[in-house]
Structure 1
Amino acid sequence: YKEIEENASLNVSFFFLSVSTYISPVQTTCMNINYYLSENEVSAGFSEERWERIYMARSVIGLYVTGFFFIFLSFFTGVAGCWKRSHGNVVATGLLQLLAALVDAGAMGLWHGVQYYDYQKLRDDMAYFGWPDVLKHRGYTNFYYGWSYILAWIGVGMSLMTAILFLCAAGCLRREKKVEQAKNMQYLMPVYPDKRQPYNYTAYPGPYYQYGY
């Protein structure tokens, strides 16, 4: 068992030495993942579950980009709505924030789906199933959620709360405009149609020039 443990530790050390890593701006060790897979003998041996995992991992990035696009649009509609007190712009901002929250929540759900595939469903050599047994023991492999994961869910919750607040603000603006219109109606003079008989020129026959016209 000690020999297996030492060999596994050497394999892990060799793996991390062969992978190029760098320090991120927040002082964490990162490595780049190439999501483009060329068609070769390795990809030809992928199972359907492996391809599903790859597609889900790619979709996470696509959904996050879409969510950022919705948030970018909502910035302009929100500024216009607050500046002009426009009910339509405020509603559009709330709907865009709601779409961003749903899209980002979908991205987080797919991320958890990728994690489930890695540790529960995939049975090939590249998954957790193919790891050496010594690495599966507690203390040799540590798995934890970092600060970015927590911030991602906080961002989803804040986007949803922002959408609810903007939609409530739109309702308040509509009620305020209705009250203003009701107040302005009190100062409008009613105009009634004139039901008097029109002036009858036939009572004065003859050429009009005789009467000074």
Structure 2
Amino acid sequence: MNIDYFIPDEENQTRGFSDDAMARLHMGRSVIALFMIGFLAIFSAFWTGVVGCWRRSPGNITATAILMLFACLLSAGGMGLWHGVEYYEKEKIVGEEYYQQWSNVLKDNSLISYDWSYVVAWVGVGWSLVSAILFSAAAICLRGERIREEAMNMQYLMPVYPQKQQYAYAGYPAPAAYPGPYYHGSQYGPYNY
């Protein structure tokens, strides 16, 4: 069954639509728009995920998690609006082609069922939510790993030996950094080692 979304509506065919029919039309258009934006979010999440995994960057992985959550919400919104369109077609809109004014014979002999694409759409919404959760967990793990690495490397950055500097004592002249007589060569004899 072809659904006419009247894009563009050059002949102004929607002029005579009722408020319920216009609401159904706008919800149907919004379903398509939400899925398109959701696919764009998934496409962007793919590339930020690839870069994040390549560079082991918790920031990129967090961005991927946010984009996947955004895609999940957009897809769930699209599916919710799809159910709204179905509700309007069955319960609210009156007209020859809509369910309420079908003859009883037609209603009794009609079978309305959801097929594989409906199930795949809801499974996709669920898996995009699972993906967002797993990406956020991965970002948390990468941040913890980076903090542990920096803590282990901190001992190499901290000074281990005291600095060779002159300290001033209260009331006394500052001592030399290396006090004592300085000998050039060997101080134990004529050996020049």
Where does residue 158 of structure 1 map in the other structure?
127
Q: Is 1:147 equivalent to 2:116 in the alignment?
A: yes
Where does residue 183 of structure 1 map in the other structure?
152
Where does residue 117 of structure 1 map in the other structure?
88
Alignment equivalent of 1:134, drawn from 105, 114, 121: 105
Deviation, 1:189, is 4.4
Alignment equivalent of 1:106, drawn from 77, 82, 102: 77
TM-score, normalized by length of structure 2? 0.80
Q: Is 1:35 equivalent to 2:19 in the alignment?
A: no
User: In the aligned structure 2, how far is the partner of 1:116 from the partner of 1:32?
Assistant: 18
Alignment equivalent of 1:58, drawn from 22, 26, 29: 29
Residues 184 and 170 (structure 1), Cα distance of their counterparts in 2 relative to 1, 3 Å cut: same
Alignment equivalent of 2:143, drawn from 174, 179, 185: 174
User: Unaligned regions of 5+ residues in structure 2, if any?
Assistant: 169-173, 176-193
- Amino acid of the structure 2 residue aligned with 1:145: Y
State the SS of the aligned residue for 1:186. Answer: helix
State the SS of the aligned residue for 2:124. Answer: helix
User: In the aligned structure 1, how far is the partner of 2:51 from the partner of 2:166?
Assistant: 49
User: In the aligned structure 2, how far is the partner of 1:156 from the partner of 1:44?
Assistant: 35
Where does residue 45 of structure 2 map in the other structure?
74
Deviation, 1:122, is 1.2
User: In the aligned structure 2, how far is the partner of 1:143 from the partner of 1:189?
Assistant: 72
Alignment deviations for residues 71-121 of structure 1 (CA, whole Å, 9 cap, x no partner): 000111000110100010000000000000000000000000000001111
- Amino acid of the structure 1 residue aligned with 2:4: N
User: In the aligned structure 1, how far is the partner of 2:24 from the partner of 2:82?
Assistant: 10
Where does residue 179 of structure 2 map in the other structure?
none
Where does residue 190 of structure 2 map in the other structure?
none
User: In the aligned structure 1, how far is the partner of 2:98 from the partner of 2:68?
Assistant: 36
Residues 179 and 135 (structure 1), Cα distance of their counterparts in 2 relative to 1, 3 Å cut: same
User: Unaligned regions of 5+ residues in structure 1, if any?
Assistant: 1-30, 200-213
Q: Is 1:46 equivalent to 2:20 in the alignment?
A: no
State the SS of the aligned residue for 1:124. Answer: coil
- Amino acid of the structure 2 residue aligned with 1:178: I
State the SS of the aligned residue for 2:157. Answer: coil
Percentage of matched positions with identical amino acids: 51
- Amino acid of the structure 2 residue aligned with 1:34: D
Q: Is 1:85 equivalent to 2:66 in the alignment?
A: no
| Aligned positions, number | 167
User: In the aligned structure 2, how far is the partner of 1:118 from the partner of 1:175?
Assistant: 52
TM-score, normalized by length of structure 1? 0.72
Deviation, 1:39, is 4.1
